[in-house]
Chain A
């Protein structure tokens, strides 16, 4: 069974640009969550999508957005990039049954903002 895949693995952007990251969940998983990992703030929850709807949201500005497609694949978009957005962005998938089931993480996309 293939794991969670994320593309691209590495990205370099400049301030003010926007970026789109992609995540393909494990087959059969309907929930996709996104996390930001930085040395200073650690792992922080961005948002979660289930059946194409945002179900949970973290405390990030509106520049961070996402969506989910009918095949459960998800994209995350960051507009007007700032230096502080440099981070490892992790995607996790789960069945999403709501009983706190296990999340499986992808390898992440490392975003560098210059």
Chain B
């Protein structure tokens, strides 16, 4: 069965610090990869997605992620975080052709001003 691992459960950063959140998945076939964000009191929103092509994908609000197939990884990065990035971040994988998202356990990010 597919699984997704997010290595950091809680991350605390100061504004302007760089961010990298780890995500690894276990599936050898063709997958689609996603990062979703859940701001306090709001619903899940898509940050970025990888389907094919350039393994470096850019999303909203300055986020980017790199798909490294050999490492089964899809790490999320942002060069300089803001207080408004405080949220919970979820990595998810989907088998190509199926509408089933498998989520990681999430990472709570707190950015202090």
Instruction: Using CB atoms and an 8 Å cutoff, list the residues of chain A in contact with chain B.
Output: 31, 33, 35, 42-45, 48, 50, 55-56, 58, 90, 92, 94, 96, 98-100, 102-108
Contacts and interface: CB of A to CB of B under 8 A. Distances in A.
B105 to A, nearest CB: 5
Interface residues of B, number: 25
Interface string B75-99: 0000000000000001010111111
B43 A56 contact: no
Nearest to A44: B103
Chain A binding site: helix, strand, loop or mixed by DSSP? strand
B100 interface: yes
Given A100-B97, A102-B49, A90 B44 contact: yes
Interface of B: 32, 34, 36, 42-46, 49, 51, 90, 92, 94-106
18 contacts: A31-B99, A33-B99, A43-B90, A45-B101, A48-B99, A55-B99, A56-B98, A56-B99, A56-B100, A92-B44, A96-B99, A99-B51, A100-B51, A100-B98, A100-B99, A103-B99, A103-B101, A105-B36
